[in-house]
Amino acid sequence: MKTNGILHNDLARLVARLGHGDMLVITDRGFPFPRHEKTECIDVSVGRNLPKFIDVVKVVLKELEIEKVIIADETKDISPHVYKELKDVVFLKKNKGNDIVEENIPHLEFKDLVLNGSLQGKEVKGFVKTGEFTPYANIILISGVDF
């Protein structure tokens, strides 16, 4: 029995398959699933705010090397505590000694990238829906390399 790291079988497999530049989206409960088969979708929610968005991000970041994140502009204003938690967690990491790049885009652009990006040639490989009930608790993690 696995006792540490990502315990969810499908999520562990998805993270292990990500390559340089691939995108992994982690969202709140309200974000819609992409409606095509190019992005693998996983729902890890078991109840209201279970698991919390930030907890899923923390566990994933223990196993995934990232070089960049994309966050909706609205997160800073509408859910500032979520944005602060993300800053505290994500930006403690380094990518080959370099700071993680943050890109902020409007929520509608973020949503379009998540829902249609892989249909447009973007590498949106995975989508994880949490039990989070806080608006704009969403992030795109862009996979880096450890060398």
List active site positions.
20
124: burial class by Cβ within 10 Å (0-12, 13-18, 19+)? buried
Tokens linked to 31 = 């974000």
The HSE-up count of residue 27 (CA atoms within 13 Å, CB side) is: 22
**All residues at 6 or more sequence positions from 92 whose CB lies less than 8 Å from its CB, including other chains:** none
Question: Of all residues in the chain, what percent are helix, strand and coil, respectively (each to 5)?
Answer: 35, 25, 40
Task: Report the C-alpha gap between 30 and 105 in whole angstroms.
Answer: 19
Q: How far apart are CA 111 and CA 127, in angstroms?
A: 12
